[in-house]
A and B are shown apart, each in its own frame.
Chain A
Amino acid sequence: MAATPADASSSSSEAVVGGEKSNKMITLISSDGESFEATEEAAKMSVTIKHMIEDGCADDGIPLPNVPAKILSMVIEYCNKHAADADDTNKHVADPADADEDDDNNNNNASAGEKEDLKSFDASLVAVDQATLFDIILAANFLSIKGLLDLACQKVADDIKDKSVEEVREIFKIENDFTKEEEEAVRKENAWAFNE
């Protein structure tokens, strides 16, 4: 096996089988000063961080002034889980001639189960209170993690779906700032769509 390109600053002692991905750990610093470590692969799920790494600004840790520790740990959990999933798929494709037949079979059976696993992980990640959910959305937006952003936004949309206007106001604690006339005007504006 060819030696992976020397990454002198790599601090991890784990060897990566057959991959050119470095196992470099990236330090992410939350807005309240807590440090978190993530593999470069997981961190690169955030396009924002990916660009910073590529531009060489990541060596001393990346400060994220918009993301509090509680949210950052959830984001990193998401990235770890999904980066591993992407990696497994890549490994599967990259090593068809791998002598480890048992491993391959296991992978085949596991991938269906893994998808389920991933789905339930995603579901539990966003099953949080509103404020946390919105913080996740803001963090995913700032860090440009499309999968997490879509996941969290879909959850909020599901909360709005099929609810009446009053119910939506209740759920999100929004005050009605329409006057009677304004409300009529909005209804009229969109009335073309309703065959009533």
Chain B
Amino acid sequence: MAKRLGEAAPWGEAPGSPVNSLDDGCLMHIFSFLSPIPDRYNTALVCHRWRFLACHPRLWLRVERPLRDVKEPGVYPDLEAAISAARPGDTILIAAGGTYLACNIQIKKPLCIIGGGELPDDTVLTCSRGSDNALEFLSTCKIANLTIKAELGCCLLHRSGKLTIQECLLQCEPNPLDYLSFPIVSTAIEYNPLPSSLKEQQGHGVTVVRTRIEGGAKAVRTNGTLALQRVRAIYARRSVFFWFEVGEKLEPL
């Protein structure tokens, strides 16, 4: 702790450590050679400076409409291209403004997809009429700060893994004709017969945090063995914010 007060390196590296001599750009370049899971996440735990650089947006993939024909490394014109180029554990930042098409995009590796605007309303993924859902998750993923709009079908289809939906806006058809429109559909099946005694949720599930859900027949449809639970809602002036989990049904003891 005394190190913080002195004039020694502002980060916690010992003055003798040679890594101290590398500038931020070089260290980030080194981290870009590491696969995010598990190596880059491990480096985030080493010390404050490494955490700052390992989680830095410069290492994220970006989805942006290209201004000119110049191809920038790490920048992709649409979400599908970014997803196929990403490594497991990568973070994809979708630029705010405009809408991006997202139709039946399958995600089979752990990814974090973030909207680049200040509010979720700034970054919109639209699923057009012909498609079943915008995003289909077959792996543990996280999405944050995005608006997902499904013109007819579902916003998110959760098949397996742990899905975290944080501060998003899910919009479905407001007056659905058939019971086809659900913001979230989960078909995950938990095969573990033993009731989970740990507080932490294991295995498959969906965790929703501070998300607005509009339209659709009902918020969540589960075709598998998971159940909706721990629902909380806050009624703000213009919309309702939800928190809930879809997971293994917790048996009352």
Q: Does A164 contact B42, Cβ atoms closer than 8 Å?
A: yes
Given that A141-B25, A154-B33, A165-B45 are contacting pairs, would A174 and B140 also be in contact in the complex, using a CB cutoff of 8 Å? no
Given that A154-B33, A174-B46, A193-B36 are contacting pairs, would A138 and B26 also be in contact in the complex, using a CB cutoff of 8 Å? yes
Residue ID in chain A nearest B144 by CB atoms: A192
Given that A174-B47, A193-B140 are contacting pairs, would A137 and B18 also be in contact in the complex, using a CB cutoff of 8 Å? no
Q: How large is the interface on B (under 10, 10 to 19, 20 to 34, 35 or more residues)?
A: 35 or more
Q: Does B162 contact A178, Cβ atoms closer than 8 Å?
A: no
Q: Which residues of B contact A178 (CB under 8 A)?
A: 45, 47-48
* Interface residue ranges of A120-160 to B (CB < 8 Å): 130-131, 134-135, 137-138, 141, 149, 153-154, 156-157, 160
Q: How far is the CA of A25 from the CA of B164 in the complex (A)?
A: 60
Cβ distance A36 to chain B, nearest Cβ, rounded Å: 22
Q: How far is the CA of A156 from the CA of B197 in the complex (A)?
A: 42
Q: Does A173 contact B37, Cβ atoms closer than 8 Å?
A: no
Q: Tell me how many residues of A have a C-beta within 8 Å of chain B.
A: 38
Indicate if A103 sits at the interface (CB-CB under 8 A): no
Q: Which residues of A contact B55 (CB under 8 A)?
A: 189-190
Report B1-44 CB contacts with A as 1/0, cut-off 8 Å: 00100000001111011110111011001111110110101111
Q: How far is the CA of A132 from the CA of B112 in the complex (A)?
A: 36
Q: Does B47 contact A175, Cβ atoms closer than 8 Å?
A: yes
Q: Does A134 contact B18, Cβ atoms closer than 8 Å?
A: yes
Indicate if B183 sits at the interface (CB-CB under 8 A): no
Q: How far is the CA of A137 from the CA of B22 in the complex (A)?
A: 8
Indicate if B50 sits at the interface (CB-CB under 8 A): yes
Q: Does A165 contact B12, Cβ atoms closer than 8 Å?
A: no
Indicate if A37 sits at the interface (CB-CB under 8 A): no
Given that A153-B26, A192-B140, A193-B140 are contacting pairs, would A175 and B12 also be in contact in the complex, using a CB cutoff of 8 Å? yes
Q: Does A175 contact B13, Cβ atoms closer than 8 Å?
A: yes
Contact sample, A vs B, 9 pairs, CB 8 Å cutoff: A149-B29, A157-B33, A160-B39, A172-B17, A174-B14, A175-B47, A177-B11, A193-B89, A196-B200
